[in-house]
Every structure is written in structure tokens, then in C-alpha cells.
Amino acid sequence: MKALTISTFGLVMLLALTPVLQTGCQTMSKEERQAKRAAKKKSKKGNKARSGPDLTPVVPQRDSYGRVNTSLPFLAITFDDGPHPTNTPRLLDILKAHDVKATFFVVGTNARRYPQILRRMIAEGHEIGNHTLDHAKLTNLSPAAVEKELGVTHQTILDATGVAPRLMRPPYGAITASQKSWIKKKFGYPSILWSVDPEDWKRPGVSVVTSRLVSGARPGGILLAHDIHKPTIDAIPAVLQQLKQRGFQFVTVSQLIALDGKG
């Protein structure tokens, strides 16, 4: 009987305190939710600041790019005419050591010979662009011939890597405005030119190639080089080191296009 009385008293007290306890819990829960939202918002801002701008490739708006309109310290370094059986793997080793992603504009005939190098490019985060089947000067060709040059190379890259190219570079930079427009409609490719040309194909020497690439670099720039020339590969470690020291970061051309008009 005594135990029942105590139990009843405890039950009565618990019932009496329930509104107070509920009010306290509701107040704390609301405060916790507000604090959680504030912390989440702060975390998102912090993560955004740490991760930098969004580099997810977008549908290019222009028919052609020689550089990208941004004040952000990003560059794209590009290599034409390969893959080369010895120079390109060595270049890939250098890029990997410096944690740099590049864009390779490959010639279809070389891509056919060395598909394993293309697969390595993709596996290591680089981008592959279309540089025609046999380095043809497009301004000398009919529309049907241009379509063949790009179409065969497109399929070669896709067959070798499983990844379709997003862009092309005309050999010698030779292309008309009407060709740029037609190629964009037919293949979805913007034509990629460049903002810095070290003329490494003239083999001016390692130090000259290095100096020209470094001194010409600006935010949003597209650097041109050729991975078929050994002296160019010799210059790349110093180029990457010096540009990084100047605060530049390297991205693929498609990632750079995503920054167009930003910053």
C-alpha cells in the first residue's frame, strides 16, 4: 500500500512536470535546429571557398576559343600532334609528378598506332581533343573531306578510350568562320586555338620555349605546345614549376571554358 502511494505520488509529479519538460525540449530543439542550419551554411561557404570555382564542363557557347574571359588564375596547357611513342609517356610522367591535367589534341593516324597511350591519358584525368586524321589543313578541304578528317578521328578516340572528344583544334590554326560554325553544329566541337605559341616546332631551345610559355601566360590563357618534340618535353618541368610559383592552376580546356565570364 505504501509502495502504491509513492508510485502514485511519483506519477502525479511526473504528470505535473510534463508541460515544463515538453516546453524545455521544444525550446532546445528549436535552438539546436537553428544552430545546425547556421553551422551547415557556414560549412557550405567554407567548402566552396576551399574547393574553388565549379570546373564541371559545360556546353560551349562560342564556336571558337583562343582564351577564356576570366580573371581567375587558371590556365590550360595543350599538346598537339601526338601521341608520340616515347615523348608522350615521358610527358605524362612529368604531368603526374606535378599533379597537372592537360589537353591533348591527337592526330588520328597516331591515335590508331598508340591507343594504349590514349587510354593512359584518360585514366590519369587528361582530356583528348580532335586534331584531324592526318594533320590536314582544313581551309584547303571540301566539307565532305573535313567531315571525314574529324569523323574518323572522333571514332578512333572513342573506340580507344570509351570517351568521345568534346573539342577540336585545326592544324596550323587554319580554319574559316563558316567552318567553325559548321563544325560546331555537326560535331558539337568548339574550335580551340591558343593565346601563347612558343613556336616550339622551330626548336628554338629549351630555355626559349620555357621563357615564352611562362612570360605569355595570363588568366584564362590556352598554352600551345607539341609533345612530338623532345626539347619541348624537356622544357615542361620548369614551365609548370614557374607558373605554379606565379599562382596559376592548370585545368583542361573544357574545364577552362566552364570559367568563361567568371571572376
pLDDT tens readout for residues 122-179: 999 999 999 999 999 999 999 999 999 999 999 999 999 999 999 999 999 999 999 9
**pLDDT interval class at 20 (50, 70, 90):** very low
Cα separation, 149 vs 159, whole angstroms: 16
Domain ranges across the chain:
1-51, 64-257
Catalytic status, residue 80: yes
* pLDDT of res. 13: 46
Q: Which amino acid is at 255?
A: Q
Any idea which residue has 570517351 for its cell?
163
* pLDDT of res. 26: 45
Options 126, 131, 154, 226, the catalytic residue: 226
Dihedral, 178, 182, 188, 192 alpha carbons, nearest 10: -30
* pLDDT of res. 37: 66
State which fold the 64-257 domain adopts. Answer: TIM Barrel (3.20.20)
> Contact 150/188 with Cβ under 8 angstroms?
no
- Kindly list the distances between the CA atom of residue 77 and the CA atoms of 4, 96, 98, 127, 138, in Å, as whole numbers in the listed order: 84, 14, 13, 11, 23
Residue % of the chain over a pLDDT of 70: 81
With 80 as the cut, is the pLDDT of residue 240 above it?
Answer: yes
Options 80, 81, 200, 227, the catalytic residue: 80
Q: Which amino acid is at 42?
A: K
Catalytic status, residue 226: yes
